[in-house]
Structure 1
């Protein structure tokens, strides 16, 4: 069953890219395990939870909302990993790290479309994402590298081999919501 949002409005940036936000949900501060959810289009495959920014909504708020809807978790929103650009699908996704503090027994997408969630090691998550969402592998690569980098905003082109540059568009500062 495909998730439909009939009342949602797609928001685009000045360059015509659709604005999205996502969270790499981690189980603990050591960031050794990440939470993936099943795809709404192909439920046998796994993805990073995230979705479109709504009108008048900050990216950090979108990330928290999408994780609650898609993964049924809440937690402490941490650093921004950057803005990941996908030229094939014309979207830019601002990705945050969330330290999960609570997993709900039931949540919106588990009830409406039967979505599941599962914890994976970084290596296993990279393998799972390679099957369906290879551009999302770059989120996890940046998670691994971000521990040693300063916390400046960066744009990562996820369509081609990753290269880090200074962000062209201002990013919302991570906040808890």
Structure 2
């Protein structure tokens, strides 16, 4: 998603019994933001920065299972995962999220 970073602790394992699918979610402390990356060049993917609360609201509408991941993040650890943050990033309460398309999102959080 156009960033490099340090992999943090396992946030949780989320299972979907119907689809027989298991997702492992880890915290990533971002150390570098890339201007261009493969998906930005090939499919026009854009980077969006959201406050955790705003990201949860967006995901509840579009990807409710992913909103669960962030609810657990909000309850279970600090956004920095106990690591020092990179000064050039948005503030410490910001979560990184990418979206290939933002046209369906409210303009207040696009």
Give the TM-score, by structure 1 length. 0.42
RMSD: 1.5
Partner of 2:37: 107
Partner of 1:83: 13
Partner of 1:93: 23
Partner of 1:73: 3
Could you list the runs of 5+ residues in structure 1 that have no partner in the other structure?
A: 1-70, 149-177
Shift in Å, 1:117: 1.2
Shift in Å, 1:145: 1.9
Q: Does 1:139 align with 2:88?
A: no
The answer to which structure has the higher helix fraction is: 2
Secondary structure class of the residue paired with 1:105: coil
Shift in Å, 1:136: 0.5
Partner of 1:120: 50
Could you list the runs of 5+ residues in structure 2 that have no partner in the other structure?
A: 79-110
Shift in Å, 1:113: 0.7
After the TM superposition, list the runs of 4 or more consecutive aligned residues in structure 1 that deviate by more than 4 angstroms: none
Give the TM-score, by structure 2 length. 0.66
- Whether the 8 Å CA contact 1:86–1:135 is kept in 2: the answer is no
Q: Which has the higher contact order (CA 8 A, sep 6+)?
A: 2
Secondary structure class of the residue paired with 1:143: helix
Kindly provide the CA deviation profile for residues 88-141 of structure 1, in whole angstroms up to 9, marking residues without a partner as x. 432110000001111100001001111111110011100111121100011111
